[in-house]
């Protein structure tokens, strides 16, 4: 140790002494006198240098040995020393030519041919102008014939038509001209003796020409007025010179005003039926209404004004009130209504339901004086929908079929008042294009005024259909129709009621795409083979099989 530099040492000692005294005696620093030292030598202490890192600069985090950070190569850039030139004359961009790929096969047209037992033959042809939805024109032709085991048990149907559609800037136009021919015979068979009423049944044939035109205003959100105009006409004749001509002109106008829709539906219907006598059955109807749509409800208030004129005349005024309210938005909506109307009866509608009609059919319109209904509808996603409706109808002149007392294989039409309570339900399921299913059920209770039963009207009906796409080429489908037992009235030899048994008709089919445009199909109808009767004395065909080929082009 070396002693020198006494002045500096004296100063350091003085500072230490003053600090100690200050800690022991907290006196006023203003009164304290500076410490004086008698040391005159300076002491210097030398030792080896040891660097110490301050605590504040230390990293107190242990290294993460499990780090999986990816090594990223440093990027390098090569900057070219180029002068930017400004060209005021910029040349026009050239559109790049689109590479033409293979067009999908054109499948707007198809032809179909098939053969089966019961001398079944099928032929169909459909032609269309192209894939432009704004301009369509086409032609179709269909033929089907079958022959059963009994004499005169033959069915033939031919249909043909041309149509056109044009979507213009403001309106859409549609027109169709068609022809339909259905032929059969009065092959009635007594189920007790299994003998036909006639060894040589008379033939029946219905020819119907139809004409239809429609003009519909295209919807645009900014428009406040919508309208449509439609014209329908048909000319029907049968083998016994019965004729029916009809022309209907209908349309609607609707105006949007704030949350209201104000409009009117109207139609003028002229129908002339001629057999041994001529009957004019004309109807004018108007349905003014006001619709209010709120955030959680829809309400329609209106009236049906119906004026009948011609052979029968009368004026009727009915309410037209409907309401909807969602209870679970987008999933469940309850609805209800109270309406009334005049439902027109025509020879055409009767012949479609029952082609074995007698001559000189009496025609009266159905007065639906009251129709109360309510129910629930909705969906669970885009692939599941349902609807259930409970209704009560009060009908005047409800038409019923009964066997003619002289020719029981022919049917007359009688009328009776009825109160009908009904329940209808429907479920629709569609899982993409691979699977779809539809189920529909109808339950009705008929309380007749004069007649003991609602002849040939089942209390319970069921229809269901399913379609499954097994592979891209193979598709299967199945169908079930079930009708509950019905009752028929016979007036001779003594008035009696005959029970018509219930029946189930099960059908199935398959389609196989053999090539891109060629396919084969197979259809089996009435798999159970039950020769059931829809109308008394008319057993249907047993199991029938139909197969063939179709070609798209």
204, 239 in Cβ contact below 8 A?
yes
Pairing mode, if any, of strands 384-403 and 366-379?
antiparallel
Question: Residues 516-530: pLDDT tens digits?
Answer: 899 999 999 999 998
CA–CA dist 451, 447 (Å, integer): 9
Give the CATH superfamily of 110-157+187-204+281-552. Answer: TonB-dependent receptor, beta-barrel domain (2.40.170.20)
How many other CB atoms are found less than 10 A from the CB of residue 420? 19
Report d(CA 396, CA 345) in Å as an integer. Answer: 12
DSSP assignment letter at 56: G
Strand partners, 183: 156, 205
What's phi and psi for 18, nearest 5 deg?
-70, -35
Which residues of the chain are in CATH 2.40.170.20 domains? 110-157+187-204+281-552
Q: What is the pLDDT of residues 120-168, one digit of tens each?
A: 999 999 999 977 888 999 999 999 999 999 999 999 999 999 999 999 9
End-to-end Cα, the chain, rounded Å: 116
Q: Which residue has the tokens 């009423």?
A: 197
Q: Which two tokens stand for residue 134?
A: 């704004």
For residue 549, the cross-strand partners are 113, 520
Using DSSP's 3-state secondary structure scheme, residue 349 falls into: helix
In degrees to the nearest 10, what's the CA dihedral of 85, 90, 91, 97? 90
Radius of gyration of the chain (CA): 45
Q: Which of 412, 414, 462, 405 is nearest to 438 (CA)?
A: 462
* Model pLDDT, residue 13: 40
Residue 13, SS3 per DSSP = helix
Long-range pairs of 524-527 with CB within 8 A, sequence gap ≥ 24? none
Tell me the DSSP string of 495-526: -EEEEEPPEEEEEEEEEEE-SSSEEEEEEEE-
DSSP secondary structure of 410-432: SEEEEEEEEEEEEEEEEEEEEET
- Look at residue 89 in the predicted model and tell me its pLDDT: 52
Cα 363 from Cα 350, distance rounded (Å): 10
pLDDT on residue 380: 82
Q: For residue 23, what are the contacts with CB-CB under 8 A and spacing of at least 6?
A: none
**Maximum separation of any 2 CA atoms in the chain, in Å:** 161
Cα–Cα distance for residue pair 72/88, rounded to 1 Å: 43
And the tokens for 206?
């219905």
- Please report the pLDDT score of residue 24 as a whole number: 42
Rounded to whole angstroms, the Cα distance separating 208 from 186 reads: 20
Contact 312, 281 (CB under 8 A): yes
Burial 325-342 (b: 16+ CB within 10 A, else e): ebeeeeeebebebebbbb
CB 452 within 8 A of CB 486: no
CA pair distance 503, 500, nearest whole angstrom? 9
Contact 536, 354 (CB under 8 A): no
Q: What is the pLDDT of residue 49?
A: 56
pTM for the model: 0.80
Best CA proximity match to 321, nearest among 340, 305, 346, 307? 340
- What span, in angstroms and rounded, lies between the C-alpha atoms of 178 and 164? 12
- Other CB atoms closer than 10 Å to residue 373's CB: what's the count? 17
pLDDT score at 75 = 56
Residues in the chain: 553
- The candidate with the shortest Cα–Cα distance to 311, out of 273, 337, 352, 347, is 273
* CA distance to 353, 430, 481, per residue, from 385 (Å): 29, 9, 21
35-44 pLDDT per residue, tens: 444 445 555 5
Task: Tell me the Ramachandran region of residue 276: left when phi exceeds 0, alpha when psi lies from -120 to 50, beta otherwise.
Answer: alpha
One pLDDT digit (tens) per residue for the chain, 553 residues = 333 444 444 444 443 434 434 334 444 444 444 444 444 555 555 556 555 555 555 555 555 556 555 555 565 555 555 554 545 554 555 555 555 555 555 578 999 999 999 999 999 999 999 778 889 999 999 999 999 999 999 999 999 999 999 999 999 999 999 999 999 999 999 877 888 999 999 999 999 999 999 999 998 877 889 999 999 999 999 999 999 999 999 999 999 988 899 999 999 999 999 998 999 999 999 999 999 988 889 999 999 999 999 999 999 999 999 999 999 988 999 999 999 999 999 999 999 999 999 999 999 999 999 999 999 999 887 789 999 999 999 999 999 999 999 999 999 999 999 999 999 999 999 988 899 999 999 999 999 999 999 999 999 999 999 999 999 999 999 999 999 999 999 988 889 999 999 999 999 999 999 988 999 999 999 999 988 999 999 999 999 999 999 999 8
How far apart are the C-alpha atoms of 228 and 222, rounded to whole Å?
18
């Amino acid at each position: 140790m070396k002693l020198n530099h006494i002045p500096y040492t004296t100063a350091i000692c003085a500072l230490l002494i003053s600090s100690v005294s200050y800690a022991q005696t907290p006196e006023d620093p203003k009164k304290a006198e500076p410490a004086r030292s008698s040391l005159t030598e300076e002491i210097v202490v030398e030792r080896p240098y040891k660097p110490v890192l301050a605590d504040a600069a230390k990293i107190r985090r242990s290294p993460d040995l499990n780090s999986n950070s990816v090594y990223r190569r440093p990027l390098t850039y090569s900057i070219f020393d180029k002068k930017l030139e400004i060209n005021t004359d910029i040349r026009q961009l050239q559109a790049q030519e689109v590479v033409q790929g293979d067009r999908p096969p054109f499948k707007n047209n198809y032809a179909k041919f098939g053969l089966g037992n019961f001398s079944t033959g099928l032929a169909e042809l459909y032609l269309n102008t192209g894939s432009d939805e704004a301009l369509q024109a086409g032609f179709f032709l269909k033929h089907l014939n079958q022959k059963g085991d009994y004499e005169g048990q033959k069915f033939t149907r031919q249909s043909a038509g041309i149509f056109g559609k044009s979507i213009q800037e403001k309106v859409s136009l549609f027109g169709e001209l068609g022809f339909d021919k259905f032929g059969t015979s009065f092959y009635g068979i007594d189920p007790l003796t299994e003998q036909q009423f006639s060894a040589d049944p008379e033939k029946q044939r219905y020819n119907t020409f139809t004409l239809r035109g429609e003009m519909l205003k295209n919807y645009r959100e900014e428009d406040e007025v919508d309208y449509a105009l439609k014209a329908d006409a048909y000319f029907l004749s049968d083998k016994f010179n019965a004729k029916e001509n009809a022309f209907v002109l209908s349309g609607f106008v609707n105006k949007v005003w704030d949350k209201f829709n104000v409009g009117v539906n109207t139609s003028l219907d002229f129908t002339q039926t001629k057999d041994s006598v001529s009957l004019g059955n004309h109807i004018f109807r108007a349905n003014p209404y006001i619709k209010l749509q709120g955030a959680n409800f829809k309400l329609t208030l209106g009236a049906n004004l119906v004026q009948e004129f011609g052979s029968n005349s009368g004026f009727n005024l009915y309410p037209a009130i409907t309401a909807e309210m969602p209870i679970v938005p987008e999933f469940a909506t309850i609805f209800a209504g109270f309406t009334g109307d005049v439902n027109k009866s025509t020879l055409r509608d009767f012949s479609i339901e029952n082609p074995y009609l007698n001559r000189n059919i009496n025609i009266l319109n159905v007065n639906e004086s009251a129709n109360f209904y309510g129910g629930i509808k909705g969906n669970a996603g885009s692939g599941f929908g349902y609807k259930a409706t409970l209704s009560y109808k009060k009908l005047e002149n409800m038409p019923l079929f009964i066997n003619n007392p002289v020719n029981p294989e022919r049917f007359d039409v009688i009328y009776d008042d009825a109160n009908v309570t009904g329940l209808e339900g429907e479920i629709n399921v569609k899982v993409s294009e691979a699977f779809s299913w539809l189920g529909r059920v109808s339950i009705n209770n008929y309380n007749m005024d004069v007649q003991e039963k609602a002849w040939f009207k089942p209390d319970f009906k069921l229809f269901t259909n399913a379609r499954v796409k097994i592979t891209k080429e193979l598709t299967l489908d199945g169908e079930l129709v079930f009708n509950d037992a019905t009752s028929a009235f016979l007036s001779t030899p003594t008035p009696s009621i005959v029970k018509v048994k219930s029946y189930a008709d099960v059908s199935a089919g398959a389609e196989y795409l053999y090539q891109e445009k060629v396919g084969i199909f197979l259809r089996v109808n009435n798999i159970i083979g039950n020769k059931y009767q829809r109308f008394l004395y008319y057993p249907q065909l047993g199991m029938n099989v139909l197969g063939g080929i179709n070609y798209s082009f």
